[in-house]
């Protein structure tokens, strides 16, 4: 049996944040806007505030979500939500503010610390409504039941999940990712590509996610290089925004696999942004899964009209195309990024254990042990 979950409402279009009417007031009377310092200085938040004013919705703003969200950031957000008498939350920004908005909503209701909910599904809690407005094309957090929060005390990136965390509305304004820096465009774009590929080869794949994943992969392979080369290419930005949302829906229903499981420990231990750590691992992980995922990778190649003589050739050629894309985007190696080799090697055992414990590798098309993952970590650095 398959289940397919998305937010109650998804709105998409050009400049829609500035032009919608009587939408935000459906969710409450006083919004907490959760964002970061860069977006807070942009025209995007000004556009949102004008619309809220027109809808007669009060709002308070926190701009402290800088970098990937931490437990203390979430605690600050919960305090602001309660002190200002808010009744719903708007996440505005990249994956970090969107993840933070879901976590803040959860902790306005749940007891204890957010660290208590690592590995515990949050399915039945009635949370304040969350509206997510992405400004990057990558994480798909606006349409997922996942949030990743770093515990500063342990250095662990905690994956929290559950149907209660799914936003009530995702609002995709195509204009909001214009001018995104090249490095962010590359990292978030590869993150979206990873979502789509992993969902398609996951043991939990289903017909609806297959269709969305293929569409997302095709868009990303075509338009990500264009968006990377020219940040003002609006058509490429729009197509990437759509692809990221599609890929987010895919992982919400079919899950991620090996790559994400291995990515989170690298991000936590070496302070690598999530999309970048995915990009660093994508080649080696996809190559390792290629034989087990061959039929589905060949299906992707066929959809992309990659010429091949048989299924083996098609699968291998798709992996090669992904490698070429990563080269075009200038993704650095781990040593080029500045990860110290000795420190990395010393951390591999812990990272392998954390990757297995995340549960994500269990959705891969073949079984993985901690020893298997250890060997892939070593290959990835080389």
DSSP secondary structure, 39-51, as one string: HHTSHHHHHHHHH
CA distance 246 to 240: 10
Q: pTM of the full predicted structure?
A: 0.95
pLDDT of residue 322: 97
8 A C-beta contact, residue 139 and residue 147: no
8 A C-beta contact, residue 171 and residue 16: yes
CA distance 258 to 377: 11
Give 309's contacts (C-beta < 8 A, 6+ positions apart). none
130, containing H or E segment: strand 130-134
pLDDT of residue 226: 96
Neighbours of 312 (CB within 10 A): 14
**What backbone phi and psi angles, to 5 degrees, belong to 149?**
-125, 135
pLDDT of residue 252: 96
Give 194's contacts (C-beta < 8 A, 6+ positions apart). 256, 259, 260, 278, 279, 282
Neighbours of 41 (CB within 10 A): 11
pLDDT of residue 119: 80
**Cβ burial, residue 192 (10 Å; 0-12/13-18/19+):** buried
pLDDT of residue 210: 98
**Opening angle at CA 381, ends 377 and 382, nearest 5:** 115
pLDDT of residue 31: 98
Neighbours of 195 (CB within 10 A): 33
pLDDT of residue 154: 82
CA distance 318 to 308: 10
8 A C-beta contact, residue 338 and residue 264: no
pLDDT of residue 153: 83
Q: Which of 286, 204, 205, 194 is nearest to 244 (CA)?
A: 194
pLDDT of residue 310: 97
* Tokens (6 digits) for 108: 């306005």
Q: How would you write the pLDDT of the chain (382 residues) with one tens digit per residue?
A: 788 999 999 999 999 999 999 999 999 999 999 999 999 999 999 999 999 999 999 999 999 998 889 999 999 999 999 999 999 999 999 999 999 999 999 999 999 989 888 888 999 999 999 999 999 998 999 999 999 898 888 877 888 899 999 999 999 999 888 778 899 999 999 999 999 999 999 999 999 999 999 999 999 999 999 999 998 899 999 999 999 999 999 999 999 999 999 999 998 899 898 889 999 999 999 999 999 999 999 999 999 999 999 999 999 999 999 999 999 999 999 999 999 999 999 999 999 999 999 899 999 999 999 999 999 999 999 7
CA distance 188 to 180: 10
**What backbone phi and psi angles, to 5 degrees, belong to 30?**
-145, 110
What spatial distance separates the first Cα and last Cα of the chain, rounded to whole Å? 42
pLDDT of residue 273: 87
CA distance 153 to 139: 25
**Cβ burial, residue 222 (10 Å; 0-12/13-18/19+):** middle
């Amino acid at each position: 049996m398959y289940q397919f979950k998305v937010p109650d409402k998804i709105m998409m279009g050009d400049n829609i944040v500035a032009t919608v009417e009587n939408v935000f007031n459906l969710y409450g009377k006083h919004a907490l806007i959760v964002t970061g310092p860069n977006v807070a200085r942009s025209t995007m938040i000004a556009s949102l505030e004008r619309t809220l004013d027109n809808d007669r919705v009060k709002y308070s703003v926190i701009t402290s979500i800088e970098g990937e969200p931490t437990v203390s950031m979430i605690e600050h957000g919960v305090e602001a939500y309660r002190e200002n008498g808010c009744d719903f939350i708007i996440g505005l920004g990249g994956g970090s503010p969107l993840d933070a908005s879901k976590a803040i909503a959860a902790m306005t209701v749940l007891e204890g610390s957010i660290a208590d909910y690592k590995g515990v599904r949050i399915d039945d809690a009635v949370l304040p409504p969350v509206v997510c407005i992405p400004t990057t094309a990558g994480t798909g957090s606006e349409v997922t039941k996942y949030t990743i929060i770093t515990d500063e005390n342990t250095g662990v990136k905690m994956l929290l999940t559950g149907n209660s965390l799914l936003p009530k509305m995702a609002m995709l304004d195509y204009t909001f990712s214009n001018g995104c820096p090249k490095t962010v465009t590359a990292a978030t774009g590869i993150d979206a590509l990873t979502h789509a590929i992993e969902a398609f080869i996951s043991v939990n794949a289903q017909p609806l996610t297959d269709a969305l994943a293929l569409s997302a992969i095709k868009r990303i392979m075509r338009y990500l290089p264009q968006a990377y080369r020219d940040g003002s290419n609006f058509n490429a930005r729009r197509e990437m925004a759509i692809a990221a949302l599609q890929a987010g829906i895919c992982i919400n229903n079919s899950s991620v696999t090996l790559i994400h499981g291995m990515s989170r420990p690298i991000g936590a231990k070496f302070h690598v942004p999530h999309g970048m750590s995915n990009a660093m691992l994508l080649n080696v992980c996809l190559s390792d899964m290629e034989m087990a995922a061959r039929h589905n990778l060949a299906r992707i190649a066929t959809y992309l009209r990659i010429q091949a003589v048989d299924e083996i050739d098609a699968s291998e050629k798709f992996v090669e195309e992904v490698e070429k894309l990563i080269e075009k985007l200038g993704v650095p190696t781990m040593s080029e990024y500045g990860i110290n080799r000795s420190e990395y090697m010393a951390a591999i055992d812990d990272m392998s254990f954390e990757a297995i414990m995340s549960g994500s590798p269990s959705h891969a098309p073949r079984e993985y042990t901690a020893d298997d993952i250890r060997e892939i970590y070593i290959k990835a650095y080389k």
